[in-house]
Amino acid sequence: MVRATIEDVARQAGVSVATVDRVLNGRAAVRPQTIERVEGAIRLLNYQPDRLAARLARGKEYRFCFVLPEGNNIFMIGLGEEVRAEAQRLRPEKVALDLRLTDVFDAETLARTLDQIGDIYDGVAVVALDHPRVKEAINGLAERGVTVVTLVSDVPGSKRAHYIGIDNSGAGRTAATLMGRYLGARRGKVGLIAGSLSLRDHIERQFGFEQVMMHEYPLLSVLPVREARDDWQKVEAVAEQLLAEHADLIGLYNVGAGTRGIVAALERSGRRKEVVYIAHELSEQSRRALVDGTIDVIINQDAGHEVRSAIRILMARADKHPIVEAMERIRIDIFVRDNLP
């Protein structure tokens, strides 16, 4: 079947191509009766607009900015690499992607980075801290007409347009269920390490984990969460401290990054086969530790899917088109050494 064109729609509706374009893009005033005729023709012909062609014809270039954490977080470094790869791929389509790195653990620094983003951007994707100062910075961008989406960690009370990431409470609950099943009838303590309890994804994972552990696994005692800013060296120090202070530590759940540090601490302690360790995000480092048994389970989210989803949503908002919710849903992946991709 030959694909319908905008000219076909115009002929069917008895209007000009310019009028069809105005209806499709919500520009200028069009009489309700005309809109109804155009929309009827679109349905009849099953017309699918060629957004790229339309954008190129208008000479329109989109500019989007990704604001990601600085530092040695392997997953976030991977996100940055995905942004750079997409920037190369989208350049011929007149879509420009910029990348800014900042300290997302510091509310004032992150907010100042967002405040300094100018109106040259059509949209911003940010790994966000759930803090009033950051919320106001996001709201400020939205009020200036810049679409904001949150990536990985959300600020739900803000004027952001969409959140792109996994269900973090569900991820924490999943980790707890796996921890309880792996430990079985053993009695002991479980350590909990986070990057920052100002990051909503970390808070939600902690909450989901503790909720399930408390109600379903009474033989296991969850220790108070310790923060380590997702820095592997700080994470290593915290893990070493937990192992030294608690001879009955039999489980570890790291809700954030820094897996390299926990792996090092477990190997040095000689207890890596005794302690069930559940980590987040699959990387070359965590993959090796999963294969050799230092890590028991990895809960993963697809960085490439998240970056592409952010771009699709920002472009849809700029084009005033709806998004396909099912396409933008980010899955929770669970890896053990037997099902590694």
Same domain flag for 75 and 152: yes
* pTM score of the predicted model: 0.84
Mean pLDDT on 312-317: 93
User: What H or E segment, with its residue span, contains residue 297?
Assistant: strand 297-300
**Among the listed ranges 52-56, 111-115, 195-199, 277-281, which one has the minimum average pLDDT value?**
52-56
The confidence band for 51, taking pLDDT boundaries of 50, 70 and 90, is low
Q: Is the pLDDT assigned to residue 135 strictly greater than 90? A: yes
The arithmetic mean of pLDDT across residues 192-205, rounded, is 96
Residue 25: is its pLDDT beyond 90? no
| CA atoms of 222 and 190, how far apart (whole Å) | 5
Q: Within this chain, do residues 183 and 141 fall inside the same structural domain, yes or no? A: no
Residue 192: pLDDT band with limits 50, 70, 90: very high
Burial annotation 133-147 (CB, 10 A radius, 16+ → b, else e): bbbebbbbbbeeebb
Query: 286 versus 5: which is more confidently predicted?
Result: 286
Reported confidence tier of residue 27, pLDDT bands at 50, 70, 90? low
User: pLDDT for 253-266, tens place per residue?
Assistant: 999 999 999 999 99
Ramachandran category for residue 256: left, alpha or beta (phi over 0 → left; psi -120 to 50 → alpha): beta
Q: pLDDT per residue over 78-124, tens digit each?
A: 999 999 999 999 988 889 999 999 999 999 999 999 999 988 999 99
Paired strand residues for 299: 280, 334
The structural domain count of the chain equals 3
Say whether both 253 and 204 belong to one domain.
yes
The mean pLDDT of 241-254, rounded to a whole number, is: 98
The pLDDT of residue 30 is above 90:
no
- Sorting pLDDT into bands at 50, 70 and 90, what band is 69? very high
Q: Which residues contact 206 (CB under 8 A, 6 or more apart)?
A: 172, 192, 194, 197, 225, 255
Cα dihedral across residues 125, 131, 135, 137: positive or negative: negative
Q: Could you report the per-residue pLDDT of 39-48, keeping only the tens digit for each? A: 999 889 888 7
pLDDT above 90 covers what percent of the chain? 81
Shared domain for 185 and 287, answered yes or no, is yes
Residue 341 has pLDDT above 70, yes or no: yes
On the question of pLDDT at 49 being above 90, the answer is no
Q: Residue 338 domain-assigned?
A: no
Residue 37 maps to which CATH number? 1.10.260.40
Q: What is the mean pLDDT of the chain?
A: 93
The pLDDT assigned to 146 comes to 96
Same domain, 155 and 37: no
Q: Are residues 139 and 247 in the same domain?
A: no
Percent with pLDDT over 70 in the chain: 95
- In the predicted structure, residue 28 carries a pLDDT above the cut 70: no
Res. 274: pLDDT tops 90: yes
71 shares a domain with 17: no
**In terms of domains, do 75 and 133 share one?**
yes
pLDDT of residue 17: 85
Residue 335 confidence (pLDDT): 98
Examine the domain organization and report whether 176 and 275 are in the same domain: yes
15 to each of 5, 46, 147, 248, 297, how far by Cα in Å? 14, 17, 33, 77, 60
244 lies in some domain: yes
Residues 164-174 pLDDT 10s: 999 999 999 99
Q: Judge if 121 and 89 occupy the same domain.
A: yes
| Confidence at residue 77, expressed as pLDDT on a 0 to 100 scale | 97
User: What residues make up the domain containing 236?
Assistant: 168-300
